[in-house]
Amino acid sequence: MDSVGNVLGMGVIDLDRFVADGFAKVEAVVPRQVGDAARALLWKRIGLSPDDPSGWTQPVVWTADLTGEGPFGQIMASPRLHAALDAVAGPGGWVPRGSVGNIPVRFPRMAPADDRGWHIDLNTELPDGTWGVSGRPGTLLLLVLFSDVGPDDAPTRVRAGSQRDMAKVLDERVIDPMRNGPLFDETGRDRPVALATGQPGDAYLLHPFTVHAAQEHRGTEPRFMAQLPIPLVKPLAPGDDTPLARAAGW
pLDDT (average), residues 160-178: 96
Q: Is the pLDDT of residue 4 over 60?
A: no
Name the average pLDDT for the chain: 94
Who wins on pLDDT, 9 or 238? 238
User: What confidence tens digit (pLDDT) does each residue in 102-155 have?
Assistant: 999 999 988 877 788 999 999 999 999 999 999 999 999 999 999 999 999 999
According to the model, what pLDDT value does residue 199 have? 98
Whether the Cβ atoms of residue 146 and residue 41 lie closer than 8 Å to each other: no
CATH number, position 68:
2.60.120.620
| 250 in a structural domain | no
According to the model, what pLDDT value does residue 8 have? 56
| 157 in a structural domain | yes
- Phi then psi for 132, rounded to 5 degrees? -145, -160
Q: Which of 229, 227, 214 is nearest to 107 (CA)?
A: 214
Whether the Cβ atoms of residue 146 and residue 39 lie closer than 8 Å to each other: yes
| 15 in a structural domain | yes
Q: Is the pLDDT of residue 1 over 50?
A: no
Question: Which structural domain, as residue segments, surrounds residue 149?
Answer: 2-232
User: What confidence tens digit (pLDDT) does each residue in 37-87 have?
Assistant: 999 999 999 999 999 999 999 999 999 999 999 999 999 999 999 999 999
Q: Is the pLDDT of residue 30 over 90?
A: yes
According to the model, what pLDDT value does residue 10 have? 65
HSE-CB for 60 with a 13 A CA cutoff: 15
pLDDT (average), residues 168-194: 94
| 45 in a structural domain | yes
Q: Is the pLDDT of residue 234 over 80?
A: yes
| 93 in a structural domain | yes
How many structural domains does the chain have?
A: 1
| 40 in a structural domain | yes
| pLDDT bucket at 200, cuts 50 / 70 / 90 | very high
Please, which residues have CB within 8 angstroms of residue 224's CB and are 6 or more apart in sequence?
38, 39, 42, 103, 105, 145, 146, 147
- Above pLDDT 70, what percent of the chain? 96
| 168 in a structural domain | yes
Q: Which of 218, 224, 200 is nearest to 50 (CA)?
A: 224
